[in-house]
Amino acid sequence: FPAGIYEHFLTDDKKVIKEGIGVVNREERVLLPNGNTKWLLTSKLPLYNGKGKIVGLVGIGRDITTEKKAKQELIAAKEKAEESDRLKSAFLANMSHEIRTPMNGILGFAELLKNPRLTDEQQQQYIEIIEKGGARMLNIINDIVDISRIESGIMDVSLAESDINELLDYTISFFKPEVEAKGMRLLLTEVLPKERAKVVTDREKVLAVLTNLVKNAIKYANEGTIGFGCNKKGPTLEFFVKDTGIGIPKDRQQAIFDRFVQADIEDKEARQGAGLGLAISKSYVEMLGGEIWVESKEGKGSTFYFTIPHDDKIEGRKKGGINASVESKDPQTKKLKILIVEDDEMSSMLLEKFLEPFAKDILQVFTGEDAVDICRQHPDIDLILMDIKLPGIDGAEATKQIREFNKDVVIVAQTAKALSGDRQSMLDTGCNDYMTKPINKEDLHETIKRLFLKS
């Protein structure tokens, strides 16, 4: 036989030769003389000489490497889909719990507030609980929106010169009361030399990551000190947040940065949270060109680190997303005639309260059709707050129709949908600006100042 071929059919050769039986349709992996491996579908038969003695074997092999690989890939894809399905279900179950818990508190204490015999102190206490529950809900919703934005690739990076020390100072003054209330200490142990503290980066994202790490340190430690700060390490800035908390087992130190994964882990120590914070932080840090990691010992504590490039010039960086910083001065704008288009009565009432300082007159309608009509009757309206999801014609359509006869009125769209490219699509229909619900009073005031200062 040609020696090469004989050597290739390895697995069943001995059997064929010894027992004299054929082997048909076997899948086997063979090593080629060049060192590569291939999958063959083989059939082998003993080869007899004239006297009926086995002297070797004949075999045929068909190369099925490609089919085999495709099959393996399919199996892997199926397993991955099943795994991701399982994680999503676990994630949803956890999310449902995370949303129900604060909701429970909000509705329960709202019910209790109805009691006319409550003392002032009790009332204040219940209101505070409701506020906290609302804030917690909003956190979860923000996390979900952020992760969706990240996944759909529409999260922008806006670079501007930012003072890292100012950001560290802000963090310590923000969290100090909470940490001290827990009987722990919060220390800012490393800051940058003043002349190095100005960096071109996305301040909001750096702050979000730092905030998230400090929040976790507070959440997962019950005593001791939380230390944080920032050092310059060559061309990068390295932030750290160190706690003396419960620590993280080695085999989870990677997984905690994955989205959806945390929820699936049997976590006896899990304290409230949707398990998205670190996944969002990781995406932010990577968007800024850095890395994030943790060093931790169970029962001793954890230190989270993240880096960002230490760029002090804007050149060479993506300029597209640079935001002009909003003036924070407080110029007096004229008093406005305002139309609120909103089908939800509670939201409409809230807007009315928020708008009071700017308003000389506030009109309210509940549908898109009425919005168009009332604009025809009142050409002197200065500002319209336009809800998008409305019964009948929606906010986008109403805006288009209003623009046909009134190009000047300022229209601010407000919607609960913060997910996709609807910002641009609303601006395209003729809105001047866009806000996401729940509308925050400060943001609304900033937006109005910006719009009316410009014109």
The residue ranges that bind ligand ADP (CB under 6 A) are 216-217, 220, 243, 245-248, 256, 262, 267, 270, 273-279, 302
Give the nearer residue to ligand ADP in terms of CB position, either 39 or 304: 304
Shortest CA distance to 362 belongs to which of 378, 346, 344, 343?
Answer: 378
Q: Are 254 and 309 in contact (CB under 8 A)?
A: no
**Coil, helix or strand at residue 23:** strand
Beta bridge mates, 329: none
- Of 351, 325, 321, nearest to 338 by C-alpha is 351
Which one, 7 or 223, has the nearer CB to ligand ADP?
223
> Which is closer to ligand ADP, CB of 267 or CB of 394?
267
Q: For the chain, how big is the Rg over CA atoms in Å?
A: 32
H or E segment at 307?
Answer: strand 301-309
**C-alpha dihedral (280, 285, 286, 292), degrees to nearest 10:** -90
CA distances from 302 to 190, 191, 226 (A): 17, 20, 10
Q: Which residue has the tokens 């708008």?
A: 355
> What is the nearest approach in angstroms of ligand ADP to the Cβ of residue 258?
9
Shortest Å, Cβ 169 to ligand ADP: 22
Length of the chain: 455
Question: Coil, helix or strand for 68?
Answer: helix
Strands 37-48 and 54-63: antiparallel
Q: Which is nearer to ligand ADP, 206 or 448 (CB)?
A: 206
Cis (ω within 30 of 0) for the bond into 309? no
Nearest residue to ligand ADP by CB is: 273
CA distance 43 to 26: 7
Q: Which CB, 216 or 399, lies closer to ligand ADP?
A: 216
CB of 156 to ligand ADP, least distance (A): 22
What residues does 27 pair with on adjacent strands? Answer: 41
Q: Which is nearer to ligand ADP, 270 or 350 (CB)?
A: 270
Q: 240 vs 354, which CB is nearer to ligand ADP?
A: 240
- Residue from 140, 109, 138 nearest 125 by CA: 109
- C-alpha dihedral (128, 134, 135, 140), degrees to nearest 10: 150
Answer whether 30's CB lies under 8 Å from 40's CB: yes
Nearest by Cα to 176 from 135, 131, 217: 217
**In terms of CB distance, is 236 or 303 closer to ligand ADP?**
303
Instruction: Please give the Cα distance from 210 to 218 (Å, whole number).
Output: 12
Shortest Å distance, C-beta 283 to ligand ADP: 11
Helix runs in 114-189, H state only: 120-151, 164-181
Please report how close the Cβ of residue 282 comes to ligand ADP at its closest, in angstroms: 9
Nearest by Cα to 427 from 411, 438, 450, 443: 411
Shortest Å distance, C-beta 427 to ligand ADP:
33
Which residue lies nearer to ligand ADP by CB, 59 or 273? 273
Residue closer to ligand ADP by CB (options 227, 277) is 277
